[in-house]
Structure 1
Amino acid sequence: MFSEKRYARLKWACRRGMLELDVLLLPFVEEAFNNLDEQQKETFERLLTCDDPDLYAWFMGHQKCEDPQLAAMVSHIVNRVKV
């Protein structure tokens, strides 16, 4: 379960300093994170530990993430933006 403190840290971790990532991650955590199941929340938290160049490449479609759980989360976030 995500406590308020853990959620606040997660929200802070969404501030990447790269505009392209900030506009994807921060709105996602504010608007959609609470609708995820616990496994997806853990995956999202793990996604935020990845390096910015990797995240950028995955979100922009320049590279495919090799981790299936992280790739599914990236796809989930990208598809949410496209809707």
Structure 2
Amino acid sequence: MFPRQSEEILKDKRRMRWACRRGMLELDVLFAPFVEEAYDELNEEQQQVFRRLLTCDDPDLFSWFMGHAKCPDPELAEMVALMLRRVKV
């Protein structure tokens, strides 16, 4: 049996996987791999920003990630930039 903390981490990861299922394929291919490969490496503050990013509307996310618009929130904009940097590596 997993310790309580590990159970919470697994639940959080499952929630993130589910929230990453977006209505646009372009977003799915950004979010799903990020959660699998990078989410655990984020500090708690970055994880909170990422969770907040997931609450944004798909059209806004699409515009930010495709460079059609700049995210007005500096924390979210930094998370978008971090995710884009990871994709380009």
What's the TM-score, normalizing by structure 1? 0.95
Q: Does 1:63 align with 2:58?
A: no
Alignment equivalent of 1:6, drawn from 12, 17, 23:
12
Runs of 4+ with >4 A deviation: none
- How many percent identity over aligned positions? 63
Q: Flag structure 1 segments of 5+ consecutive residues without an equivalent.
A: none
Alignment equivalent of 2:54, drawn from 29, 48, 58:
48
Across the two proteins, how many residue pairs are aligned to each other?
83
RMSD: 1.2
What's the TM-score, normalizing by structure 2? 0.89
Who wins on radius of gyration, i.e. which is larger?
2
> Cα deviations across residues 5-53 of structure 1 (Å, max 9, x unaligned)?
1221111000102100000000000000000010000000000000000
